[in-house]
Structure 1
Amino acid sequence: MIRAVIALSVAASVGFFHAARAADLGEQPGRVDPAVVARPVSVVQVTPYLWASGLSGDISPFKLGPTIGVDKSFSDIMKHLNFGGFINLWARYDRFVVSGDLMYVSTTETKVVKGLPLIGALKADLDAREFNTTLLAGYRAFDLPQFTVDFLAGARVWSVANSVKVKAPVILSYSEKFAWIDPVVGVRAFYNFTDKVSALVQADAGGAGVGSKFTWQALATLNYRINDSFSASAGYKVLRVDYHSGGHVFDTTLHGPVIGATYRF
């Protein structure tokens, strides 16, 4: 994935030189609103979004427990979902940019085993909570009316908590929590097709054994500007991580479509 980020950076550079050449030759590949040309010095964007993600990979919820293969669709996760929240924050001052992407998901899955000797039945509730946030800062390397590229660096913070409650016939419970931090580098490219329609591509990669063995994520959206303050977007997001430490395993891929609404001020 690090190669992919580098490739995206190169592609962004090629796009920059193409756009610059088009400007020199008087070409107009897309109609751009004059307000886009005269960008404000500072901008803040808040984007709550829905990520219809599936989950696949290997997980060891408890360090002394077995590693379990997981392959769940979004509909499978929704059956056990307690709460899910996703929000993206982005800000720019002149050419300096910062962004934060936060995710929290809580699920409860119940298993019942019947026909056991003496106790008859056993009921177990497994609660799983995952939180991660990606915090990045960087510099707008290319800033054209139709095309921008930001280079970014920062960290992704992970926290995973699991608990199990067994009723058979007395109640027994146990919980564990583990967390880590991954350094990441990334790139964000934005292209205006018209004054209303645009595309965003953002990717990052890291880990390198500092926290996880590796992690990467990629997001691509098509956006529609409703007015100067509001826009809507739809696209696809993938988040990958391979973490093995202290008996805990969290080697997963989350992927699925996203839809969001952005407020800009």
Structure 2
Amino acid sequence: MHQLARRLSGALAIWTVVAASGSAALAADVPTTPPFIEALPMPPSWSFRFVPYGWLIGMDGTQTVRGRSVKVDASFIDIVEKSDTLVALMGTVEARRGPFALYGDVVWTKIGVEGGNVRSRSPAPGVTGTFGTSLALDIEMAIVEIGAAYEVARSGALAFDILGGARYWYQEADVSFDIAGAVDIGDLQLAGARAFARSGSVDWLDPVIGARMRYAVAPGHELFLRGDIGGFGVGSDFSWQAVGGYGFEFATYQGITFAGVVGYRALSVDYAQGEGRRRYEFDMLQHGPILGISARF
């Protein structure tokens, strides 16, 4: 009996040692903490920005309607003081996801320029007669830009984009003048002692390429500079644009960040079609300050 008890005690001791060794080995196989799993980066989401703005346009160049040309040299102040027609609707929108962005810009304006800021020039070949001393230009114009931009470089607060797209132009222009001397009025409209050369609808489409630089001066404050060229004989002979400005955030409401935008925009185009009495030409630099409010969400 005592011998059986001793055998059972020995077996129990051996089993205890084996069990303890097995538990230690199992504990060594199972990590005490879960392995680190690196989270995959979330793809960037789309952000949107809408900027209604005003462009205080001045004009410097030549307008030709039905072969009759006038030289225009008028600042925005001149246009405001001497024009009874000044209507405008302007805005830009941009959708961005990471380095890629889509943009659009619309300018619609109706401007009248009169007095000493409009001067007669020589008519086109095949058109005879002279203008009177009193001249006026009324022009309705729409400019629509669409395109895409891609951020190709970034260094700290400085980012550099390239862009490409198209710029569509639509115009209707009227040149009016007092009848003086011998004037060929066969293709003009008369109203009293005043003659009108009316263009009707004129439109064209220019391809555009350019670049843009953005610099974050401070959180919520950004300087921007954009330049582009276009036309290349596809629509106009040539066009160029330069825009520079400063944006500053001033409020956030329900997830929408509002910012003020101030800057300067210059847009030049040289477009012509037809000859003689059918000649239409718009060789003009439009330039002036821009003021707007940006909403980003």
Q: Same fold (TM over 0.5)?
A: yes
Structure 2 distance, partners of 1:245, 1:91, is 36
CA radius of gyration, larger in: 2
Partner of 2:271 in structure 1?
243
Deviation at 1:255, TM superposition (A): 1.0
Partner of 1:162 in structure 2?
173
Structure 2 stretches lacking a partner, 5+ long: 1-41, 116-133, 177-188
Secondary structure, aligned partner of 1:67: strand
Structure 2 distance, partners of 1:41, 1:150, is 19
Considering only aligned residues, what root-mean-square deviation do their CA atoms show, in Å? 2.7
- Normalised to the residue count of structure 1, the TM-score between the two structures is 0.73
Alignment of 1:125-204 (within 5 A): 127-143=138-154, 146-163=157-174, 166-168=190-192, 174-204=198-228
Alignment of 1:1-265 (within 5 A): 41-60=45-64, 62=65, 64-78=66-80, 79-80=82-83, 81-108=85-112, 127-143=138-154, 146-163=157-174, 166-168=190-192, 174-228=198-252, 229-246=257-274, 247-265=279-297
Asked if the contact 2:168–2:206 (Cα under 8 Å) also holds between the matched residues in 1, the reply is yes
Asked if the contact 2:79–2:112 (Cα under 8 Å) also holds between the matched residues in 1, the reply is no
* Stretch deviating more after TM superposition (253-262 or 99-108): 99-108
Secondary structure, aligned partner of 1:226: strand
Q: Using a 3 Å threshold, how does the CA distance of structure 1 residues 106 and 242 change in structure 2: closer, same or farther?
A: same
Amino acid at match of 1:255: H
- Normalised to the residue count of structure 2, the TM-score between the two structures is 0.65
Amino acid at match of 1:129: E
Deviation at 1:240, TM superposition (A): 0.6
Q: Using a 3 Å threshold, how does the CA distance of structure 1 residues 95 and 77 change in structure 2: closer, same or farther?
A: same
Identity %, equivalent residues: 30
Q: Using a 3 Å threshold, how does the CA distance of structure 1 residues 145 and 73 change in structure 2: closer, same or farther?
A: same
Structure 1 distance, partners of 2:226, 2:247, is 14
Secondary structure, aligned partner of 1:176: coil
Q: Using a 3 Å threshold, how does the CA distance of structure 1 residues 167 and 66 change in structure 2: closer, same or farther?
A: closer
Structure 2 distance, partners of 1:141, 1:256, is 30
Secondary structure, aligned partner of 1:227: strand
Secondary structure, aligned partner of 1:75: helix
Structure 1 distance, partners of 2:103, 2:227, is 13
Q: Using a 3 Å threshold, how does the CA distance of structure 1 residues 262 and 170 change in structure 2: closer, same or farther?
A: closer
Structure 1 distance, partners of 2:259, 2:44, is 17
Secondary structure, aligned partner of 2:79: helix
Asked if the contact 1:124–1:167 (Cα under 8 Å) also holds between the matched residues in 2, the reply is no
Structure 1 stretches lacking a partner, 5+ long: 1-37, 112-122
Structure 2 distance, partners of 1:231, 1:170, is 48
Q: Using a 3 Å threshold, how does the CA distance of structure 1 residues 242 and 169 change in structure 2: closer, same or farther?
A: closer
